[in-house]
Amino acid sequence: MRSLFFLLLLLAANSSSAQKVLSVEEAAARVGDSVQFCGDVISFRYAVQETGKPTFFYFGNRFPNQVLTIVIWEKHRKNFSKRVELAYGNATICVRGRVQLVDGKPVVEVSSEDQIGVREEEDE
């Protein structure tokens, strides 16, 4: 599934009418837009004590100085084949979604596995 996701992401990136794959910083600046971006997860947190039990993945810097956050709510965890913190924590991932401002910070909500994937290391 991940290989298919990255193949489709690559094809979309090479299409003249498709969305460009952005850096974390570029995506963070596109509030209100649907974006595709790739970046390193700097840190993450499964906030089981908070309402909705969100899992946060932070990019650019650790919380509270992160450049961009993705959030996966507890109700959406069933849409993933693996525990999300194990699958995506401390990885380089690519994400599709709409950038929103939450408490003044850019956030992308991810609700299904087809919006996110781990970038595989390329052999040189």
- In the structure, what pLDDT confidence band is assigned to residue 106 with cuts at 50, 70 and 90? very high
What is the architecture, at CATH level 2, of domain 2-118?
Beta Barrel (2.40)
pLDDT of residue 120: 78
How far is 74 from 46, CA to CA, in rounded Å? 9
- In the structure, what pLDDT confidence band is assigned to residue 121 with cuts at 50, 70 and 90? low
Q: Where are the domains of the chain?
A: 2-118
Q: 49-105, pLDDT tens digit by residue?
A: 999 999 999 999 999 999 999 999 999 999 999 999 999 998 999 999 999 999 999
pTM assigned to the model: 0.83
- In the structure, what pLDDT confidence band is assigned to residue 44 with cuts at 50, 70 and 90? very high
Are 56 and 47 in contact by the 8 Å Cβ rule? The answer is yes
Q: 74: helix, coil or strand?
A: helix
